[in-house]
A and B are shown apart, each in its own frame.
Chain A
């Protein structure tokens, strides 16, 4: 092929790719920010702790009702976990939900902490338990290629 033609085609490809990058960046950023506000705004996220009277297990329940205000499909993910002093997971559970643009999805995530674990790590105490409570929240879009993830770790949080 003529070299001049190749140069011209390359120029068009570069312009096209640059435009695509800018458009995708703007769209994904818009979706991520709207998704973030849609997920954490008042009344859309709640964390409750219950105790099973029969077995003595602890039930940590996360209720979420996120809304996708963006223009791309987004995947919202949540994870709850408890880590020991060495940073190893004692128990963890996670879930994710895909939300089309303009829609809202309700889901809940339950972390069952067995009674033996509650006793072993002294989780009944109000303070001083040598564990870390971890809450992970993530929003991804464009087939999980672009995303935002927040991990919150609270040390010594026995009084969940």
Chain B
């Protein structure tokens, strides 16, 4: 590892360092507020480092790389660690997104983690370590790094899931661990098959070695490997038929962890799917379009239908994330179109949808956290009368539900508009029809939440309390939901630039 590598990995090293500092401070200080402050303010270091890299990436793409990075810049791409990690706008987009998610999650969890007081320092550190994985994953272009990053995301989360130390939480952790291990096994098996066939773990080498491959007896092993890798990713992002761990884990885990899990690991998972697809798998003629249309349709229907019958709001949101993953798969189906214009449109619509989905889900989960901290219940019925008791939190929860349905003026609507537009551009009209029908279906259970909020309550009229950082977290994400819904232009542009950067590498 040279100095230049270290420079390019500065954001990741900063966040790893932050995690270690937090653990050390936890040993020294009794007052946990100091740790909280260090973690929050420390997060701005990787953010600044990420944005600093943007200039270097741009310079390399323009063909005039900064003097000390000349060696690492080839073909318009900055790569680190012997070409296993690439630093491009795509990676930087997701680094920023993950850091923003972590910031909101840390801010919003301060009230909740009083329940797990003794483990507060570990909580921050593990979230940061998981974020490290989520930042690395979108940048990887090599199978082993992909595997390591995926595990780095998941393992801290397994520990975090069990933090409540009750029956549910432990069961959730166990399920997460075992099913995660199975998915890793699938992934590794797939990678091994691809490695034996091509002799390399580098995605570019794999792409050029197999570019002529046709489906047939001599390539069965290769394509089995490809499908297994895809299945491994499927577990991580949680689309049907790899969704079975989601409801139990989401329900059992501490709610801030659920919030983080539902957005960060999904974002990173989709990021790597997009990259791998654009670089390698997209070139195989395996009927991807049909496959993804099918997976997408199944995810939407299963997620939405089952969500209708849920009474626990975390479980309902868990099923809703399955459906949301289904919408994003529409974008992957668009990607399978070989025309580069459509690929840009499809991939950038996933990126934008992910960003919108992240703020929306965070707003929803943290609004729920504020309420359940006070009522001690996570049933949907416990939301009754909250419109009175917590007007602002209820308004934000309402807006985030609208966003999940896809009703303007929220980012969820813009995301769907852009995503469905991409699908129409590639002629996937039927998929769009299924998509909008599912939006209607989902309106039923999302609106039920809104209805409970504004139903007259019989019992308590006591105001809901929350501390300032939590309100800040809910406020930022709520603002994001409406702000991106009204002015989505800049983020869409950023998403487009990011995707173009990936395509340049081809």
* Chain A partners chain B: no
